[in-house]
Amino acid sequence: MKEYVLIVGGAGYIGSHVTKSLAKAGVPTLVFDNLSYGHREFVRWSDDLLLADLLDREALRLVFLRYRIRAVMHFAGFINVGESVTDPEKYYRNNIIGTLNLLEAMREAGTWVIVFSSTCATYGEPLEVPIPETHPQNPINSYGVSKLVVEKALADYGSAYGLAWCALRYFNAAGADPDAEIGEWHIPETHLIPLILDAALGRRPDIAVFGTDYPTKDGTCIRDYIHVNDLAQAHVLALSYLDAGGVPRAFNLGNGCGHSVLEVIEAAKKVSGREIAVKYGGRRAGDPPALVGTADLARSVLGWKPKHSDIMDILATAWNWHRKQFSG
Ligand code: UDP
């Protein structure tokens, strides 16, 4: 019987890029997705799309009965920081209960390997920058809390049941597949880079800057933007690491280099060659002023080498896909 890696949330932005990278590495996959945010057309590199919801325990159980699944990668989380502050229940239910259901189905089927999408939002307001994995985790929004609870569950399931896990704490995923087959596309769109590129294409009148009074060099939030294909590569490496008996642990995935919102807008103007109108607004709830990480551990332990560290390069891949997808 063929063995698969189950990609939960494989129709989404990061999950689809990882599925493509796994296919290139010769790893057979199945995508499990409810298509609430994902795109059917992003599922191209898998043997099947299993259309179901993580809150449906019976559907999950059947997937594990029907297929031999040797490992799981879990991307199916709600990710909007602002929304998690105004509608926390959505985040607790999907991100925590949904993941517990997944872990239950894995346990019942005897699938003991998982790579989990975690986040730098689990750290909260940084006490030191760049942030190492040992930094205290005090999230300031329900999104970060929901991911932290799952990290704790993974560690406990590891100790109690022998679950092999990696939690990959992404900084800000950005950019698109250099072949421009898939890219960053959320409905509704709330993320900075696709919104900026929408403004560049004239699909929106302007880009709103959320907060100009942060204690940063230009008053706007600083984030560490990491190319989605570099994230994808880290997943392939994390799976090999766990397959080789690596100790379960969390890894930061970032470039170690921060860019303010205004810097990203300036860079996008250069890359696109378009004018981008800017509207200045108030802060968005739940946003720490600066999030920049060190990924030394992923480099030394996983052998991870990000290839697209330059923000111009990241934006160029994003622009290339965005223009192809949306300029009609
Ligand atoms: N941001 C902004 N305007 C927008 C969307 C985002 O100024 O229309 C800011 C946001 O406050 C944060 C940064 O851009 O400081 C990145 O936000 P995004 O939602 O892309 O990712 P997050 O950091 O929430 O994961």
DSSP string, 62-115: HHHHHSEEEEEEE------HHHHHH-HHHHIIIIIIHHHHHHHHHHHHT--EEE
Residue 143 annotated among the catalytic residues of the structure: yes
Which residues are within 8 A (CB) of 310 and not within 5 positions of it... i.e. 6 or more apart? none
Is residue 169 classed as helix, strand or coil in its secondary structure? strand
Q: Is the pLDDT of residue 155 over 80?
A: yes
Res. 327: pLDDT tops 90: no
Answer yes or no: is pLDDT of 137 > 70. yes
Calculate how far, in angstroms, residue 62's C-alpha sits from the geometric centre of ligand 1. Answer: 38
State the average pLDDT over residues 163-179: 98
Q: What percent of the chain has pLDDT over 90?
A: 98
Instruction: Please tell me the distance from the alpha carbon of residue 17 to that of residue 39, in angstroms, as a whole number.
Output: 12
The residue extents of the domains of the chain are 3-174+226-253, 192-223+256-326
Atom of ligand 1 nearest to the CA of 291: 23
Handedness of CA 205, 213, 188, 272 (dihedral sign): positive
CA of 204 to the centre of ligand 1 (A): 16
Q: Which residues pair with 119 in a beta bridge?
A: 170
What does the alpha-carbon distance between residue 116 and residue 95 come to, in Å, rounded to a whole number? 11
pLDDT for residue 129 is more than 80: yes
Instruction: Tell me the CA–centroid distance for residue 190 and ligand 1, in Å.
Output: 7
Q: Tell me, using a 6 A CB cutoff, whether residue 190 lines ligand 1.
A: yes
* CB contact at 8 A, 200 and 233: no
- What mean pLDDT comes out for the span 310-319? 98
Rg (Cα) of the chain, in Å, rounded? 19
Instruction: State the distance from the centre of ligand 1 to the C-alpha of 192, rounded, in angstroms.
Output: 5
pLDDT of residue 38: 97
Is 119 touching ligand 1 by the criterion CB < 6 Å?
A: no
The residue annotated as part of the active site, out of 4, 143, 157, 241, is: 143
Res 188: pLDDT? 93
Minimum-distance ligand 1 atom for the alpha carbon of 79: 25
Place of tokens 């689990």: 122
**Model confidence at 92: pLDDT above 90:** yes
Q: How confident is the model at residue 328 (pLDDT cuts 50, 70, 90)?
A: low
Confidence of residue 86 (pLDDT cuts 50, 70, 90): very high
Please tell us whether the domain made up of 192-223+256-326 is placed in CATH 3.40.50.970: no
Q: Which residues contact 215 (CB under 8 A, 6 or more apart)?
A: 289
Average pLDDT, the chain: 97
Atom from ligand 1 closest to the CA of residue 81: 24
The DSSP element (H or E) to which 225 belongs, if any, is: strand 225-227
Contact 252, 133 (CB under 8 A): yes
CB-hemisphere CA count at 13 Å for 78?
27
Q: Which two tokens stand for residue 315?
A: 């934006």
156 pLDDT band, cuts 50/70/90, is: very high
Q: Is the CB of 290 under 6 A from ligand 1?
A: no
Tens of pLDDT, residue by residue over 25-83, are 999 999 999 999 999 999 999 999 999 999 999 999 999 999 999 999 999 999 999 99
Residue-wise pLDDT for 219-264, tens only, equals 999 999 999 999 999 999 999 999 999 999 999 999 999 999 999 9
Nearest CA to ligand 1 atom 24: 81
The predicted structure's pLDDT at residue 1: 86
Return the pLDDT at 63. 98
256 in the Ramachandran plot: left (φ > 0), alpha (ψ -120 to 50) or beta?
A: left
Tell me the best of 14, 85, 141, 191 to mutate to test the pocket of ligand 1, counting ligand atoms within 8 Å of each CB and taking the most.
Answer: 191
The finding on whether 192 has its CB within 6 A of some atom of ligand 1 is: yes
For the chain, the farthest-separated pair of C-alpha atoms sits apart, in whole angstroms, at 58
- DSSP one-letter code for 120: G
Q: How far is the CA of 299 from the centre of ligand 1 (A)?
A: 27
Q: Which residues contact 172 (CB under 8 A, 6 or more apart)?
A: 192, 223, 224, 225, 226, 291
Using CA atoms, how far apart are residues 20 and 283, in angstroms rounded to an integer?
36
What three-state secondary structure class fits 51?
strand
In whole angstroms, what is the distance from residue 58 CA to residue 197 CA?
41
- Residue that has been written with the tokens 């990000």 in this structure: 306
CATH number assigned to the domain with residue range 3-174+226-253, chosen from the 4 options 3.40.50.720, 3.40.630.10, 3.30.70.260, 3.30.70.1400: 3.40.50.720
For the cut 80, the answer to whether the pLDDT of residue 298 exceeds it is yes
C-alpha closest to that of 227 among 152, 172, 166, 163 = 172
Q: Does the beta carbon of 209 sit less than 6 angstroms from any atom of ligand 1?
A: yes
**Ligand 1 mean position to 136 CA, how many Å?**
23
Global pTM reads 0.97
